[in-house]
Structure formats: C-alpha cells, structure tokens
C-alpha cells in the first residue's frame, strides 16, 4: 500500500475507532430498545473538505450519522502533509477498498455489541480537489442479521398485531414497525400485504386516541420517506432547499417506471393524504408526470366509486372522494337549493364518502354562526347559510346524525385548534336556534373528543345568550359543560340564583361520576370551594338546594 494512503487510512481509522468506542458505550447503556431494531449504526461518511484559500489546508470530516444539508455535526481532524501525495487513482484503488475492508470486518463482527450495527450499512467517501471531487459509495449487508430481523418481525405480527385487544405492541415498537412495512428488504411492497396490517393495528388502537394518532403519524412519515428516498428520487431531482419542488430527470437519466412500484406509490399518496392533503396532491401530480392515468383520475374524479358531477334544479355539485372534497354551486339562493345540497351530501355520506371532507362553496350569501372560535371556512358558511331557513332544521339534524363520527375531523382548516368533528357546524347552529334539537346537541357533546377539540368550550356562553338559563334546559346545559375541555373556564353568564335552577342542576347531575360533577361545578361556580361559599350566603330554599349539590360531591 502506498505510504501516503496508509498514513491517511491510519489517521481516519484512529478517529473512527475513538468515535465508535464512545457510541458503543452510549448504545449499550440504552434501555427498552425495541426488538424490531436490529441495530443503530448504518452509515459513515469520510470526507476531505478543501481549505478556503488552498485545497491542501482543509480537514478530514467524519460523520457517523447521515448528515443534514443544513447542519455540520462532523468530527474534524487534521491531516498530514501526505494529503498532497494522494491521487484519484490511489484513493479509488487503494484507500477506499481498504477503508471498506476494515469497516466490513467490524460490521460483520459483534465486537461493539450485537445492537451496535443495523443489518445494512453504507460507506461514503468524498475527496475535494481544487476544481473537482471524488465520490465513492459502497453498501454492506449482514444477511444473517436481516434474516433474524425478518423472523422477529413475523413473530411480532403474529403475537402483537393479529391477536385481539388487550394485546397491543409497545409504544417504542410503532416507529420500527411502520418503517419495516415500507422497507423492501423486509416486506413486499404490495398493498394487499401491508394494508391489512395498518388497518388491523389502527382498529386495535381505537380506544386509545393518542396512541392511534401516534401510529398514524408514524406510518405517514414512513410512507413519505419511502416515497421520497426509494421512489421519487429515481425519476426526479429535488430542489436544493429540500422543499416540495421536484424536477423530472432527463429520460436517459432515470429507469423505466416499474408499474408495481408506481401502484404502491399511489397507495402511499392516498394514505399520506389523511393528514397531509397537500402532499397527497403533489405526489399524485408527480405520478401523472410518470404517465399514471390512475393518478390523473384520482385528481379529477376520485376513485370512481361516486358519480363525480351532479346538476340539479338549483345547484351544481362535484365530489372527489380521494381528495376528500365536495363542491357546491348555489344557482338560486333559496331554501330549496340548500335542501337539495343537503340531500346530495347526505346521500354521499351514506355511501361511505369520507365524513371529514372539505367543502368548496359558490354562494352569494355569507352567514356565519355567532361563535368566535369557529373558523370562517366555506364549510362553516354553507351550514350557517342553511340554518337561516328554519324549515331545513330537520334536514340539518338528519345530516348531523349521518356525519358525526368520534375522532374524525373536517378538512376545512389546517389541523389544529380550529379542527372540528364532522357535524359540528350543523349541531352547534341547531342548538342555538332550535329547542327541538337539544337532544342532538347532547349526543354530540357525548361523542366529541374533548382532549383534542377546543371550539366547543365557549359554546355554553353562546347557548345561554341565545336561550337564557332555564330549569328545563339544565340537562342539555350540563352536557354542554361536560363536552368542554377539561381545563374549561368558568362560564361568565351562567348563574344558579333560583331554587328551581339549583334543583334542576341536582337532578341533571344524578348518576354522573364525581369528576364530572366537579367539572360542572367548576364551570358554573369557579370551584367547589366557591360553591360552598355561595351555599352559605344564599337564602332558603336556595341554600338547601346548593347544600344538596355539595352533598353529591
């Protein structure tokens, strides 16, 4: 071996050995590692970065994790004068093979512990000259470790995914399970293989919404990573800022499109769309550039399950179940137009159109509900417009009963504080304008996800402004208070200052859990302590009723 090459190799390997010793100590001290993680280290990059003023005054950069373009976390070491003696030929034929040989020997051993290396490993070498750069790469595979990982995954599916609840995977297994599902080394990239596993685990997590949401995030990110690293990168170049701009490569620079991979990419795009609709649309547009008629149909008419266009007497409408959108154009601003539109939407939902759709509306009316926290979206506007016609209240209630779904969200706003459950605009409006539909409001409040939806917190105040505080309204008022967030504040305009109101409150709280009664008391009086003070100050018989209320706690 050339002396300059040997000196360079020894300096690099001494630093790698030192780094790996520290990493090995850290990894061996980790607790609760997932059994689905074969190992941690899967990458190393050794690079000579030229100096600012003279290329030979640079430094050796070593990265043991794949570096981000926007950061510099490299280990840096000085190099000797031998650096000027190196050539492309020496680096390609002597240094890189020797470096790979040492790494592979360590990779295939368990010298640093069985969980140190993953089943695969990539070695990257770069050397910057004054006007050029050498880039060399090699991928290593530990086949026995891969076979063992495949067996472990299969056992995990049989023992943690397929069995009925309460059997569930551990939280730290979800990340690795999601990424293994889209790893072509481990699983076949076929919808019929992967979809049942995703749906099975999602169904099992229905009773724990936080964990279900975490699972949704994990497999969404896994699909995005597969789409961008394994699929799109074959056919497109990405903008340097890692934005959403993808530029198609010249025909000679990319392989022919694999139909099976393209079909799986379309499936991935649809799955991603549940939480990232903009990404779904971008991916489908890229698939169209690759010649996918299916993607073009998805963008234009949806899956084909629903008649995509409708023209009635007073409205024109379109729908797309893939993009989860409904478009309504009101041709004549009158009651029958909104009735026709509601019938159209209800029919779609009963045929399993996504309940969390977004609505695009063309209408000259612009009404909104008197609720400050509700987003002023086109969907909100449509239902507020329809609520201006009292004869449509029964039809709006029919819609709400059809649309309401726990742990689902309309797509009319970006996910966040203003996201609401399907049926929200209709129900909250009916509750303000019609006593006949208070029972619907009660059902809604029992169904709403109080941990992840906030807009209903202020509904009690608006309800009281609309109807006042009446004894006969106490059951629905209690349900509204319980439907608020657990940290819901005291309702300012809600005062229990008459015996019949206190008695109605006592009756409405019977059978409730202690924490529910305490929440209602806090939202009315401010705290249990303040209720005690109010009972002492009140005159008979109001004080007796308040004392009875205290006795329930």
pLDDT tens profile 468-523 = 999 999 999 999 999 987 676 899 899 999 999 999 999 999 999 999 999 999 99
405 has pLDDT over 60:
yes
Distance CA 181, CA 388 (A): 50
Rg (CA), the chain: 31
pLDDT, tens digit, 9 for 90 and up, residues 442-470: 999 999 998 889 999 999 999 999 999 99
pLDDT, tens digit, 9 for 90 and up, residues 179-231: 999 999 999 999 999 999 999 999 999 888 889 999 999 999 999 999 999 99
Q: Would you place residue 32 in the very low, low, confident or very high pLDDT band (cuts 50, 70, 90)?
A: confident
Listing DSSP states for 123-135 in one string gives: EEEEEE-SS-EEE
Out of 140-149, 159-168, 237-246, 474-483, which region has the weakest mean confidence (pLDDT)?
237-246
Residue-level pLDDT at 54: 87
Distance CA 85, CA 226 (A): 42
Q: Model pTM? A: 0.85
471: exposed, middle or buried (C-beta count within 10 Å: 0-12, 13-18, 19+)? middle
Residue-level pLDDT at 397: 98
Q: What is the mean pLDDT of residues 124-148?
A: 96
Q: What is the mean pLDDT of residues 137-164?
A: 97
Q: Would you place residue 85 in the very low, low, confident or very high pLDDT band (cuts 50, 70, 90)?
A: very high
Distance CA 135, CA 151 (A): 36
User: Per DSSP, what are the bridge partners of residue 317?
Assistant: 310, 328
Listing DSSP states for 169-236 in one string gives: --HHHHHHHHHHHT-TTTS---HHHHHHHHHHHHHHTTT-HHHHHHHHHHHHHHHHHIIIIIIIHHHE
239 has pLDDT over 90:
no
Contacts for 63 with CB less than 8 Å, ≥ 6 apart = 43, 44, 45, 47, 73, 74, 75
61 has pLDDT over 90:
yes
Distance CA 480, CA 482 (A): 5
Contacts for 174 with CB less than 8 Å, ≥ 6 apart = 211, 214, 215, 218
């Amino acid at each position: 071996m050339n002396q300059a090459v040997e000196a360079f190799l020894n300096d690099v390997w001494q630093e790698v050995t030192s780094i790996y010793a520290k990493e090995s100590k850290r990894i061996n001290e980790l607790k609760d590692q997932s059994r689905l993680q074969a190992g941690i280290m899967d990458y190393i990059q050794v690079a000579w970065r030229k100096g600012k003023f003279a290329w030979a005054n640079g430094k050796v950069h070593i990265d043991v994790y794949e570096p981000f373009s926007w950061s510099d976390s490299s280990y840096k070491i000085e190099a000797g004068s031998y650096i000027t003696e190196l050539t492309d030929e020496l680096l390609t034929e002597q240094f890189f093979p020797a470096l790979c040989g040492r790494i592979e020997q360590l990779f295939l051993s368990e010298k640093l512990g069985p969980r140190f290396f993953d089943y695969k490993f990539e070695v990257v070498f770069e050397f910057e000259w004054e006007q050029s750069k050498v880039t060399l790469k090699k991928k290593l595979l530990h086949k026995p470790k891969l076979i063992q990982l495949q067996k472990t995954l299969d056992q995990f599916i049989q023992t943690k995914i397929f069995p009925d609840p309460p059997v569930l995977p551990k939280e730290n297994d979800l990340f690795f399970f999601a990424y293994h599902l889209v790893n072509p080394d481990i699983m076949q990239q076929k919808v019929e293989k992967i979809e049942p596993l995703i749906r099975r685990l999602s169904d099992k997590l229905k009773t724990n919404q936080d964990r279900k949401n975490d699972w949704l995030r994990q497999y969404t990110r896994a699909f995005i990573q597969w789409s961008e690293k394994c699929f799109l990168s074959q056919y497109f170049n990405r903008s340097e800022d890692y934005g959403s701009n993808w530029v198609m490569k010249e025909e000679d620079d990319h392989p022919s499109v694999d139909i099976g991979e393209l079909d799986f990419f379309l499936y991935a795009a649809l799955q991603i769309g549940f939480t990232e609709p903009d990404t779904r649309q971008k991916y489908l547009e890229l698939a169209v550039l690759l010649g996918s008629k299916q993607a073009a149909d998805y963008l234009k008419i949806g899956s084909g399950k629903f008649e995509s266009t409708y023209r009635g007497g007073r409205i024109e409408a379109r729908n797309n179940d893939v993009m989860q959108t409904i478009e309504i154009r009101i041709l004549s601003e009158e009651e029958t137009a909104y009735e026709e539109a509601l019938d159209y939407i209800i029919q779609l939902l009963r045929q399993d159109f996504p309940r969390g759709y977004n609505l695009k509306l063309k209408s000259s009316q612009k009404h909104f509900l008197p609720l400050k926290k509700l987003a002023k979206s086109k969907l909100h506007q449509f239902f507020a417009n329809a609520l201006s016609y009292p004869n449509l209240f029964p039809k709006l209630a029919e819609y709400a009963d059809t649309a309401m779904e726990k742990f689902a969200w309309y797509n009319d706003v970006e996910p966040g504080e203003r996201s609401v459950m399907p049926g929200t605009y209709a129900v909250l409006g009916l509750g303000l304008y019609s006593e006949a539909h208070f029972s619907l409001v009660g059902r809604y409040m029992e169904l709403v996800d109080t941990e992840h939806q906030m807009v209903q917190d202020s509904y009690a105040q608006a309800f009281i402004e609309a109807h006042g505080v009446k004894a006969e309204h106490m059951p629905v008022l209690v349900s509204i208070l319980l439907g608020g967030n657990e940290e819901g504040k005291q309702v300012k305009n809600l005062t229990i200052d008459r015996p019949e109101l206190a008695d109605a409150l006592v009756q409405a709280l019977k059978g409730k859990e202690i924490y529910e009664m305490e929440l209602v008391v806090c939202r009315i009086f401010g705290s249990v302590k303040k209720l005690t003070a109010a009972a002492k100050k009140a005159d008979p018989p109001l004080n007796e009723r308040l004392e009875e209320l205290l006795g329930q706690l």
